[in-house]
Amino acid sequence: METTLRGVGVSHGVAIGEVRHMGTAVLEPPAKQIPAEDAAREQGRARKAVEAVAADLIARGNLAGGEAQAVLEAQAMMAQDPELMADVDRRIAVGSTAERAVYDALAAYRALLAGAGEYLAGRVADLDDVRNRIVARLLGVPMPGVPDSDEPYVLIARDLAPADTALLDPTLVLGFVTEEGGPTSHSAILARALGVPAVVALPGAGELAEGTVIAVDGSTGEIFVEPSAEKKAQLESAAAQRKASLSASTGPGATSDGHKVPLLANVGGPADVPAAVEAGAEGVGLFRTEFLFLDDSKQAPSEEKQVEAYRQVLEAFPEGRVVVRVLDAGADKPLDFLTPADEPNPALGVRGLRSLLDHPDVLCTQLTALAKAAEGLPVYLEVMAPMVADRTDAKAFADACRAAGLRAKFGAMVEIPSAALRARSILQEVEFLSLGTNDLAQYTFAADRQVGAVSRLQDPWQPALLDLVALSAEAAKAEGKSCGVCGEAASDPLLACVLTGLGVTSLSMGAASIPYVRSTLAKYTLAQCERAASAARASDTADEARTAAQAVLSGE
């Protein structure tokens, strides 16, 4: 029987497929005794599970090749270690279940590795993965991590951290559904980057049985469990119509009466550039540079390595605008060489520009690398600082840019309410503003963007957040400077019209969202967008703001 659930839609499109669950860390098996006559059977179960896991690791290694193959083969050898298996057999012989014996034997092995010097201690994580895989097989629960599937599926998870997604194959993942997260969570951002439908903050998502067929509408946030043939046809028809509409919309971003709104791409490194170019991005509105620094949390990358990576992105947009955000370390992106280890609340501590000003050598190297990367290229380079709180911060950043010989526009991100409230003051030191609506919402409402329970307050349609956007845009207009949005709010086509009406001068988003925003903007005049913005700001809740804006744009 078809049932309907509702979460928060964060990535457009429709996905219909079977449920596969993201495996979680295996819980410790209960320590219960078995009768002596069951020992041989349990020993056989343990051996069979170990051999199956080892064979799976070797098969994965053969497919991956290279260094990954060596790592996976080493893990398989760990699983099959004769001394380990002998210890498992001994524990079963004195009354342990197969899963408890494996858990305890590997715990003892783990302790030996952890205390055997730096190199062997580094293998502990590999050993933990082996333990989790064997115990999961014995318990009959999903394997840890990404599901094993030869057929496309809809991924269900409590939440998706960046590390969880490293092995995801976008050709197999039809869509995401998560219990946690919000519109600006990592899982939402990843879904939009991959161009797959996604719904987050869905209570009880983990209770959907493995193999259940569901339909995910990433626009409305609806989940249809065991949808009827009629419902499937209806959803597929709507998706096909949207796709045709997107294909017909090309060229620069603009309203129907010709008001230009450049549509830029958010990129996290050179790998994201092809999708941005294919989507028709007019440049890059947010080039996140953390990817270079997170590879090694012990030290900053060399100037040469940075120059090479930056130039790859700059070369992809000749005559285009590329806005680079300098390193935003701290909070959920700690770096051993840069961020304090003992902060009680890292999100409110030494983060972003604050970290860089405490380590001017790191900032200077990055700015120098950007200057060298742009040499001789016909690109419009702009560089901005994250977490700017006031004019003092803005001046310190602009001074550092000039000292590094950077020939570019210097800007400030508006992610803290104080920056929006004092935007005109900040603009005395820098040449543009860029609104990071993800963090601006988080700090405005004291609502962690990774916590699904407060997703209502992370909604970028919140009128208070729209007020801060309007303040920033008005300040920029008064100073004759630009004010863009590079937060995920820009990826919502309806909200993109409202942001345009608030006076925002450019919109930057994940590449997959650009066609949706371009197509929607082209339907309305600037005056209609302004009326929709006024209606949204006059509302009291995010839902009311969305409904009011929709009513204006639909002529109701």
Residue 52 bridge partners (DSSP): none
Token pair, residue 137, equals 């097989």
Q: Any residues with CB less than 8 A from the CB of 374 and at least 6 apart, and which?
A: 310, 311, 314, 381, 407, 408
Token pair, residue 442, equals 């988080």
Catalytic residues: 186, 486
Torsion angle, alpha carbons of 513, 517, 518, 521, to 10: 180
Q: What share of the chain is helix, strand, coil (3-state, %, to 5)?
A: 50, 15, 35
Q: Give the distance, in angstroms, between the CA of residue 122 and the centroid of all CA atoms in the same chain.
A: 27
Q: How many CB atoms lie within 10 A of CB 3?
A: 10
DSSP string, 323-368: EEEPP--BTTB--TTTS-S--S-GGGSS-THHHHHH-HHHHHHHHH
Do residues 150 and 16 touch, judged by C-beta distance below 8 A?
A: no
N-term to C-term CA, the chain: 36
Token pair, residue 74, equals 């080493």
Residue 480 DSSP code: T
Computed over its alpha carbons, how large is the radius of gyration of the chain?
26
Residue 342 bridge partners (DSSP): none
Do residues 509 and 266 touch, judged by C-beta distance below 8 A?
A: yes
Q: Which residue has the tokens 């804006």?
A: 549
Cα-based distances in Å from 298 to 110, 151, 307, 339, 516: 24, 40, 20, 11, 41
Of 34, 22, 234, nearest in space to 145 by CA: 22
Question: 39-64 and 66-79 helices cross at what angle (nearest 10)?
Answer: 170
Residue 327 DSSP code: P
Q: Any residues with CB less than 8 A from the CB of 502 and at least 6 apart, and which?
A: 466, 469, 470, 473, 533, 537
Distance of alpha carbon 493 from alpha carbon 499, whole angstroms: 10
Report the DSSP pairing between strands 173-178 and 506-509. Answer: unpaired
Give the sign of the dihedral formed by CA 539, CA 202, CA 216, CA 182: positive
Distance of alpha carbon 371 from alpha carbon 556, whole angstroms: 51
